[in-house]
Amino acid sequence: MITSFRWRRRGATALAALALALVPAAAPASAAPTPAAVPAAATAAAGFSHRELPEPPPAGQVRAELDQLVVEAPHSMDGYSRAKFPHWAIQWGTCDTREVVLARDGAGVVQDGQCRAVAGEWVSVYDDKVLDAASKVDIDHMVPLAAAWRSGADGWDTAKRKAFANDLQHSQLVAVSAASNRSKADKSPDAWRPPALGYWCTYARAWTDIKHVYGLSVTGPEKAALNEMLDTCA
């Protein structure tokens, strides 16, 4: 009996050793990979298909859209708050709307493991300034949130305001210089136009199309300014 017990014990020990040998050795903790900076194109390919600023419709179509917009006085700003337009929403992973636009509109953009742009170059279409750091770039809402509120967004629910503030399907979001974005603020085209005259056609087409897509109104002076800017289209 003693011999039989010792045999079973030795056999069990051998089987345990064999099982441990078949288990892959764990990598040392120091060998764990650290998230590295990667080209933004790789991140975009993994989670987002739009890699260029959406082109607004041609001038002829936009003029027809402009004629369809309701012309009325601006709505009251009572109750307005940017917080009512949840913006810079997460698009995928850790990439929010701002980082997606930075990657889309820049050249040679590199992002870190948190999707933050750590290198790249941007040309501000509003004033033709070249920007060499993401900290110098603002993401402008083509139709500002406050301007949308004055032209109909005061009656929207939060879901529609969020969609408007994070719209990557239309030409609503664009990377520009902080100076031009802050100069524009929430002004409509009758009060502010891009310093780069060559961008007037695109700006008017984009502004009008966004208002048409979302069913927003225009004022009389705003419509006149948009028609004047559309006259610059070739």
- pLDDT, tens digit, for every residue of 181-223? 999 999 999 999 999 999 999 999 999 999 999 999 999 999 9
pLDDT at 38: 54
Contact 181, 138 (CB under 8 A): yes
Give residue-wise pLDDT tens across range 138-161: 999 999 999 999 999 999 999 999
Torsions phi, psi of 90, nearest 5?
A: -70, 130
Q: What is the mean pLDDT of residues 24-35?
A: 38
The C-alpha torsion from 172 through 102 and 191 to 229, rounded to 10°, is -60
The pTM score is: 0.81
Please measure the distance between the N-terminal and C-terminal CA atoms of the chain and give it in whole angstroms.
102
8 A C-beta contact, residue 207 and residue 143: yes
User: In this structure, are residues 24 and 76 in contact, taking their beta carbons and an 8 Å threshold?
Assistant: no
Predicted confidence at residue 7, as pLDDT, reads 32
pLDDT for 147 equals 98
Q: What is the pLDDT of residue 125?
A: 98
Banded model confidence at residue 52, pLDDT cuts 50, 70, 90: confident
Sequence spans of domains, the chain? 33-230
CA distances from 21 to 17, 24, 28 (A): 6, 8, 17
